[in-house]
Chains A and B, each alone.
Chain A
């Protein structure tokens, strides 16, 4: 059973549209990280959110950490083909040791021109 549930699993949109990806859990996390993975490569870190309620912006990407630190969202404004990739959330539950990391199953985003 996945501790971090991501939705949707797959998202296909046109260039210029907005999209939101969700990462939910019944467990509390010390922090949450968002990664993007492209075919044939390892995941690359986009952002880390630490404080409940925190909002971080990275150009057209907005990341939010839930007040209770159990969920997070990634919103992309005016998506571009370069945003295509597998988006993964990950984090250490507060009940686990520092070294253990849980990943969501990922959301595959496809942005067509």
Chain B
């Protein structure tokens, strides 16, 4: 079954304790992206990756790191989490057909609910 998986689904942690949220897709997609969703703000893009070893900032990259060492995995790293990073996080992937009009379907994972105390 084609899917995007995220782990963990729920996480409660304390300020300053490094954590990693994993994201994996089995569709051989070049493009992967991380978003955070907060009430009243919709989804905001954190980082995205066009291919292995190619990453770039979205609109809200501060306090986050990513890496893309393999095509299928795109982990999100919070080196020193703070309470304002409490949010619902989504990973997504899509093909990259090169269309300037961006018609590729983006598939989302089930989300990771993070609470930083």
Query: A6 CA to B50 CA in the complex, in Å?
Result: 28
Q: B70 to chain A: closest CB distance in Å?
A: 18
Whether A100 pairs with B108 at a CB distance below 8 angstroms is: no
CB-based nearest A residue for B43: A103
Main secondary structure of the interface of A (DSSP, over half): loop
Residues of B within 8 A of A106 (CB): 42
Whether A103 pairs with B105 at a CB distance below 8 angstroms is: no
Q: A72 to chain B: closest CB distance in Å?
A: 14
Given contacts A41-B111, A42-B111, A44-B108, contact A101 B103 (CB under 8 A): no
Query: A106 CA to B31 CA in the complex, in Å?
Result: 24
Residues of A within 8 A of B43 (CB): 43, 88, 90, 103
Query: A50 CA to B59 CA in the complex, in Å?
Result: 23
In B41-83, which residues have CB < 8 Å from any A CB? Answer: 41-45, 48-50, 56, 58-59
Selected from B33, B90, B108, the residue in CB contact (under 8 A) with A99 is: B33
Given contacts A42-B90, A103-B44, contact A30 B100 (CB under 8 A): yes
Whether B56 pairs with A97 at a CB distance below 8 angstroms is: yes
Given contacts A99-B48, A104-B42, A105-B40, contact A45 B106 (CB under 8 A): yes
Query: A31 CA to B43 CA in the complex, in Å?
Result: 17
The range of chain B's interface size is 20 to 34
Residues of A within 8 A of B58 (CB): 100-101
Query: A18 CA to B34 CA in the complex, in Å?
Result: 34
Whether A98 pairs with B102 at a CB distance below 8 angstroms is: yes
- Which B residues are closer than 8 A to A by beta carbons? 4, 31, 33, 35, 40-45, 48-50, 56, 58-59, 90, 92, 96, 100-103, 105-106, 108-111
